[in-house]
């Protein structure tokens, strides 16, 4: 018997960091980026990934979130059968694409089905979010909600996720800087600044408010307004020293090449950036001009 489940990645359009402080955020599922977890019988609990093959609970600390998922689900089973869990597909790690949430969700769904646990959606999300807390120190829940949705997600830590069924009718260019982000460091960096500075607190509030304006622009299909909001958000994120020289250079290229807006996405300090474009031709042009600064890119019609 085998059970498999595929989960997709995500990008945060706006609201990263401010969502940690209780404000709203807007995120987008990226269905072209997927990871599949496959569970099958084994002689011992075994993990097989591109980086590690061996006893599951002897895996390096970077797998601690997954260890929590597997330990929790096995404890819910009538018996704890030894299983092998194999991961296929790839989402670049530490880039803001939701790789850890994707793997946690896929594992929870596949292993839950294999063990016939009849998990509710609430169970699945609670386990996935706890794995995210282990991985990142503090997780808002937006990654887990978005990798579990096929529609854009308007998210608040208190009220949860709400889908936005409308299309913006624009093109999103996602570029991988190749620089590893560090969510724990970035969140801590912002926290230290907000603890010391009223200006930093005001900037977090403004970022949260921009998310609400972005939702209205999305629903009105106002691409120009959303592009302006991206640029304002990027200025705020830059003020927290979350940008890098490479990100700044990509920003210049994008805006000089007719992008409607540009910003980093996720925790920052590297990772991915997003450029809102009026069409795919402009997105392709920006990607080609950025080749010396990026390791990969994706173009999504949104």
Residues 96 and 144 in one domain: yes
Backbone angles phi, psi at 98, to 5 degrees: 80, 25
Residues 144 and 289 in one domain: no
Band the pLDDT of 209: cuts 50, 70, 90: very high
- pTM of the entire structure? 0.85
pLDDT for the residue 117: 97
* Domain edge (last residue) among 145, 163, 181: 163
Q: If you average pLDDT over every residue of the chain, what do you get?
A: 94
Residue with the two structure tokens 């609201």: 15
Kindly give, in sequence order, each residue whose CB lies less than 8 Å from that of residue 251, ignoring residues fewer than 6 positions away: 234, 243, 262, 273
CATH number at residue 282: 3.30.70.890
pLDDT band for 138, please (50, 70, 90 cuts).
Answer: low
pLDDT of residue 184: 81
Please check whether residues 98 and 230 belong to one and the same domain: no
Can you tell me the mean pLDDT for 115-133? 95
> Which residue among 163, 196, 218 closes a domain?
163
Q: Does residue 154 sit in the same domain as residue 97?
A: yes
Q: Assess whether 175 and 207 both reside in one domain.
A: yes
Which residue segment(s) compose the domain that 264 sits in? Answer: 171-301
**What is d(CA 147, CA 8) in angstroms, rounded to the nearest whole number?**
6
Give the pLDDT score at 63. Answer: 95
* Residue 78 confidence (pLDDT): 87
Position 158 pLDDT exceeds 90: no
Q: Are residues 23 and 108 in the same domain?
A: yes
Q: Are residues 24 and 144 in the same domain?
A: yes
Q: What is the mean pLDDT of residues 245-253?
A: 98
- 5 pLDDT band, cuts 50/70/90, is very high
The answer on 153 and 35 residing in a single domain is yes
Q: How far apart are CA 150 and CA 131, in angstroms?
A: 21
Give the CATH number for residue 61.
3.30.230.10
Instruction: Look at residue 283 and give its three-state secondary structure.
Output: helix
Indicate whether 29 and 136 sit together in one domain: yes
Q: Are residues 194 and 128 in the same domain?
A: no
Whether residue 244 contacts residue 225, with contact meaning beta carbons closer than 8 Å, is answered with: no
**Tokens standing for residue 42:** 């084994």
The C-alpha atoms of residue 103 and residue 279 are separated, in whole angstroms, by 32
Question: Which tokens go with 27?
Answer: 């995120």
Q: Which of 163, 191, 218 delimits the end of a domain?
A: 163
Per-residue pLDDT tens digits for 259-276: 999 999 988 999 999 999
Determine the Cα–Cα distance for residues 253 and 222; give it in Å rounded to an integer: 23
Residues 116 and 74 in one domain: yes
Q: How far apart are CA 188 and CA 100, in angstroms?
A: 19
Whether residues 71 and 91 fall in one domain: yes
Give yes or no for residue 58 having a pLDDT over 70: yes
User: Per the structure, how many domains does the chain have?
Assistant: 2
Q: pLDDT confidence of 45, banded at 50, 70, 90?
A: very high
């Amino acid at each position: 018997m085998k059970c498999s489940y595929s989960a997709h990645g995500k990008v945060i359009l706006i609201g990263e960091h401010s969502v940690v402080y209780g404000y709203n955020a807007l995120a987008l599922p990226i269905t072209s980026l997927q990871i599949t977890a496959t569970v099958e019988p084994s002689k011992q609990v075994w993990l097989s990934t591109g980086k590690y093959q061996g006893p599951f609970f002897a895996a390096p600390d970077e797998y601690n979130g997954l260890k929590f998922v597997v330990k929790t689900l096995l404890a819910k089973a009538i018996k704890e059968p030894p299983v092998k869990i194999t991961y296929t597909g790839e989402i670049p790690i530490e880039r803001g694409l939701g790789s850890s949430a994707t793997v946690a969700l896929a594992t929870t769904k596949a292993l839950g089905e294999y063990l016939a646990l009849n998990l509710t959606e609430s169970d699945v999300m609670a386990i996935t979010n706890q794995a995210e807390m282990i991985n990142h120190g503090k997780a808002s829940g937006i990654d887990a909600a978005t990798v579990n949705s096929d529609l854009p997600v308007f998210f608040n830590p208190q009220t949860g996720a709400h889908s936005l069924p409308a299309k913006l009718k624009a093109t999103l260019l996602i570029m991988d800087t190749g620089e590893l982000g560090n969510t724990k460091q970035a969140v801590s960096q912002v926290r230290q600044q907000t603890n010391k500075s009223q200006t930093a607190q005001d900037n977090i509030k403004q970022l949260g408010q921009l998310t609400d304006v972005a939702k209205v622009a999305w629903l009105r299909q106002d691409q120009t307004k959303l592009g302006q909001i991206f640029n304002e958000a990027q200025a705020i994120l830059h003020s927290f020293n979350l940008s890098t020289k490479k990100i700044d250079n990509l920003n210049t290229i994008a805006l000089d090449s007719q992008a409607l807006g540009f910003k980093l996405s996720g925790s920052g300090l590297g990772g991915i950036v997003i450029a809102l474009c009026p069409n795919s031709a402009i997105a392709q042009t920006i990607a080609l001009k950025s080749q010396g600064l990026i390791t990969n890119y994706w173009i999504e019609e949104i």
